[in-house]
Chains A and B, each alone.
Chain A
Amino acid sequence: MTPQPLIALVGNPNAGKSALFNALTGARQKLGNYPGVTVERKSGRLALSDGRPAELVDLPGTYSLTPTSPDEQVTRDVIIGKQQGERLPDALILVVDATNLENHLRFALEVLALGLPTIIALNMVDLAARDGLEISADALANALGVPVIPTVAVRKKGLEPLLEALTTHVDDKGVPDRPELKGLDFSARRAKARSLTRIAIIREAPSRRMTQAVDKVALHPVFGPIILLGLLFLMFQGVYAWSEAPIAMIEGWAEELANLATALTPDGYLRSFLVDGVINGVGSVVVFLPQILILFFFILMLEATGYMTRAAFLMDGLMAKIGLSGRAFIPLLSSFACAVPGIMATRSISDPKDRLTTILIAPLMTCSARLPVYAVTIGAFIPARSVGWGIGLQGLVLFGLYVTGIIGAMLAALLLRRTVTKGQSAGFLMEMPKYQWPRWQDIALGLWQRAIIFLKRAGGIIFISTIILWVLLSFPKPPAGSDMSPVDYSAAGRIANGLNVIMEPIGFNRDISLALVPAMAAREVAVSALATTYSIDAGDDEEKLEQSLGQRLKNSWSMPTALAFLAWFVFAPQCISTIAVTRRETNGWRWPAFMVGYLFLLAYIAAGITYWTAVALGL
């Protein structure tokens, strides 16, 4: 049996490749990775005009076949048949932006020189018309000797003729076994692209009026930063305010599920495993899905409209001061919800050292999982009084913790750029695409894919780590008649007692050490772990059992201990998912190990300084 034809989509960044990919494949997409590199492989099925199925692969956008990043390397290697894990495509769809013809044709000429069967999708002809550009696809086709099909990917226009042309060309037998990079040199291609543009353009007017009008406001020296701040404020408000209802809903489902499991299973290991381990453990992570989706909605919208590059442009000056570029702003912003998508978003940073630095400081952005820990501790120890001008002391402390994280990240970046990630800054050179109103289907598809990735992770690594922690907390059981509590006797309890030798100097007690062990899975687990510890401690004492966790903390911890605990969580890498995603994105254990080491060291020093300062002040 002959395999399905493989068709690859190639083009410059911002040519509308992804929109065309979505339009051609619909929701039938598969996300994966190329072996050995952290470049996403996006593929999907499409039906050719004669009904045959074919596989379409969306290659990363590139400006030329001389790669400057791992993404661009993959594109080049696939279309010359040298990419591991991918066969040579049977045909190419070359996406060309009609509004930026000259620049995109130069790349097109480089690809056409390979000699693979190629169809050109002359995309965004509607925007070209809006800009007053009239282009003859026939003239271009005659000059280039390949079919040129006008398309509007976001409106699904021109797809039928594109598929027809593809169907007749996919069987061309002229495919070279090993296409070689050859043909004209750079400036000759440029000159040829220019003359081709003259042939193709029938009529033109000054460019990009709409985009330039929007930029006049969005990039205004005064209003630009104000608009950016306003959007960020809206985003954080949205992440916290709009997620309350769906989070309560998910918590309700988890509770019902736990009740159901309790009713259906006999008291014992199985019930404890299902309820305490699986449902509560995985459930405590799945509740973050609404926040992550709201955050991604904002990020996908900002990206699809073209505003994200403007945000990077506005922030570049500030980022340059800490040795990074404006591009790092986007992943760091995502990390306020969760460092995992933030670290994944660093893929758009082409300079490896810029990217590594951004990954290493991303966990210092206060993520949403720290909020439960902060909320409980602040509620118990910081008096709810006003400091004047209507500002509450509790809110001020919370804000201070966020700011401490940001300052910590800036100092860490400065230090890292001078030591382990030393090197010339790659600077900031990027294309500012035109503004576009996104198709809601594309946004919905993006959100769906993020949700699946997140849930798969919750079902995978978090599920497994939860089981391990449950086992450590449940075994070995104390022998009958022992006066030790089951938690103290368990493996996790013994680890905590050992750990406490190290943690005592910074003001932590055994209960905190115990909570820090399961909190390695996810930071918010610290809260439930403390709750469990103190409820076991209470035993049958009814008066103690009725106390809230806050009251119990207040009775058992001193003020310096509580402040040290808060300082610890600003820095500590208490999250297995972050460590796992860092391993995946850096291809090894070296950098996650370094990250964990430096963050624990920072956390230890920060908690110690906080504790001893507070003790000295007599708090």
Chain B
Amino acid sequence: MHLHQLSSGQSATIDRIEWNHLSDSEGQRLREFGVEEGADIEILHRAGLLGQGAIMCRIGRMSIAMRHNHADAIHVRQEHGQAGPNIAGPDMNADTPRILSQP
């Protein structure tokens, strides 16, 4: 599922990122923030009453804000029992980038 479909306070693992939906500088900035395949991510807050504003996420020990179009490019999977914030979980070892797939 897409990152923005995740409900607030739930944590998930990044499955796949459609880098080609992001500009070079956006992709670079996200990587610098630690947003990569295999990393653990959690939605903390959504701006705006209708939930269409920016999204604030926890990645590692950082909080970052992004827009919906960025969150749309990020696919996550929730594993069993993965509900609260956890840091440096065992599944964070998956470091090798996967083959990018077209939408």
Please determine whether A102 and B34 come into contact, CB atoms closer than 8 angstroms: yes
**At the interface, yes or no: A428 with Cβ under 8 Å from chain B?**
yes
Report Cα–Cα, A187/B96, bound state, in Å.
8
Q: Are A221 and B25 in touch, CB under 8 angstroms?
A: no
CB of A320 closer than 8 Å to a CB of B? yes
Q: Which of these, B23, B53, B69, B97, contacts A314 with CB under 8 Å?
A: B53
Complex CA distance for A30 and B42, rounded to whole angstroms? 42
Q: Please judge, given known A-B contacts A206-B85, A429-B29, whether A191 and B49 are in contact too, CB under 8 Å.
A: no
- The listed residue (B45, B53, B87) touching A206 by CB distance below 8 A is B87
Shortest beta-carbon distance from A392 to chain B in Å:
32
Interface string of A427-439 (1 = CB under 8 A from B): 1111110100000
Instruction: Tell which of B56, B62, B66, B85 touches A103, judged by Cβ atoms closer than 8 Å.
Output: B62
Bound complex: CA A222 to CA B25 (Å) = 33
Is there a chain A Cβ closer than 8 Å to B79's Cβ?
A: no
A334 within 8 A of B: no
B95 in contact with A427 (CB, 8 Å): no
Known: A103-B62, A313-B56, A316-B47. A186 touches B26 (CB 8 A): no
Please report which residues of chain B, range 50-103, place their CB below 8 angstroms from some CB of chain A when the two chains form the complex: 51-54, 56, 58, 60-67, 69-70, 85-88, 92, 95-97
B70 touches A430 (CB 8 A): no
With a cutoff of 8 Å between Cβ atoms, the chain B residues found around residue A255 in the complex are none
Query: Please, which residues of chain B bring their CB within 8 A of the CB of A424?
Result: 23
* With contact pairs A63-B29, A204-B87, A313-B54 given, residues A429 and B44 touching in the complex (Cβ less than 8 Å): no
Binds B, one of A153-161, A207-215, A281-289, A555-563: A207-215
Report the bound CA distance from A312 to B25 in whole Å.
20
Number of interface residues of A (CB under 8 A): 46
A406 at the interface (CB under 8 A from B): no
Say yes or no: is A100 at the interface (Cβ < 8 Å to chain B). Answer: yes
How close is A190's CB to chain B, nearest CB, in angstroms?
7
Given the complex, which residues of A lie within 8 Å of B56, measured CB to CB? Answer: 215, 219, 313, 432
Using a CB–CB cutoff of 8 Å, the interface residues on chain B facing chain A are: 23, 25-26, 28-34, 36, 44-49, 51-54, 56, 58, 60-67, 69-70, 85-88, 92, 95-97
Q: A residues touching B (Cβ–Cβ < 8 Å)?
A: 63-64, 66, 68, 99-103, 106-107, 186-187, 190-191, 194, 197-198, 204, 206-208, 211-212, 215, 219, 221-222, 224, 309, 312-314, 316-317, 320, 326, 424, 426-432, 434
Given contacts A190-B95, A313-B56, 10 further A-B contacts (CB under 8 A): A63-B32, A68-B25, A204-B88, A206-B85, A207-B85, A221-B46, A316-B47, A427-B67, A432-B64, A432-B65
